[in-house]
Amino acid sequence: MKIPKFIVIIGLIAVFIFSGSVLADTYIEMVTHTDGFQMMGQEQPPQYDTIAMWLGDGVARSYNKEGSILIDSKKEMIYLIDDDKKAYNEVSFDILGDMKKMMGLDQMEAEEAEMMEQQMQMMMAMMQISATVTPTDETREIKGYNCKKYLVNMQLSMANVKADYWVSKDIDINYDAFKKLNLSKMLFMPGADKVIDEFAKIDGFMVYSEGTTNIMGTDVKSTTELIKAENKNAPAGTFEIPKGYKKEVLKPMGEE
């Protein structure tokens, strides 16, 4: 599958397990841009990515350049869909948060599983995360929306992220659902409960952000910009596995 298994699963833990119902489908489209940079002798070109999301009643579908992901909280399943291969993987909610199952350790021979578990422990140590979110009194109109500025400082083991978030409450979408979408991306990470409390301070929808990530002494600048946010009916089949697609067995993380 094209979609990086590890990123997908840790990034979507409980993403669309909403409380309450969504009265209408919501379409969200955002564009991210990351400046080019050089690290360890390797030149990284600038990157652009368009992220499109559909939120429904207990279901959601997201698309980016890596592929598409379907979440069905009623079936308690995540589906990783590869349109090029016309195939999909599925991940049950009940293994989310269980790193041994998520890494496929329960499917390995004892010696291999022991080695992978050591790698898992090292990986978890590197995933420690903390954050500070500071509301400001600064306001600005962006794309016709009245926005308020929040300062975000996030610390990971090998990176520090400092960003300005411009957030608006003028946009007519399901805020509770979208907030759970964003916050749930960090649920599995050590220290995530405190990070979630910090990000809960952000009241509204992010219209624009700009920030710098310092990775081992290298500064990488990036922006995220809202293109669309509107309530409308999702196209038929949005929240379904396409007909004729073949189910594939999800391989242990890190294995192609």
CA atoms within 13 A on the CB side of 250: 23
CA distance readout (Å), 193 to 29, 150, 177, 187 = 28, 20, 18, 7
> Could you list the pLDDT tens digit for every one of the 256 residues in the chain?
443 333 333 333 323 333 334 457 888 898 989 998 887 778 888 888 888 888 887 788 888 777 888 888 778 888 889 988 999 988 777 665 555 555 555 555 566 656 666 666 665 555 667 889 999 999 999 999 999 999 999 887 778 899 999 999 888 766 665 555 444 444 445 556 677 778 778 888 889 999 999 988 889 999 999 999 888 999 999 999 999 999 986 654 444 4
**Parallel/antiparallel/unpaired status of strands 26-34 and 37-39:** unpaired
What's the pTM value of the predicted model, to 2 decimals?
0.69
Alpha carbons 207 and 147: distance in angstroms, whole number: 8
CA angle 9, 64, 68 (to 5 degrees): 55
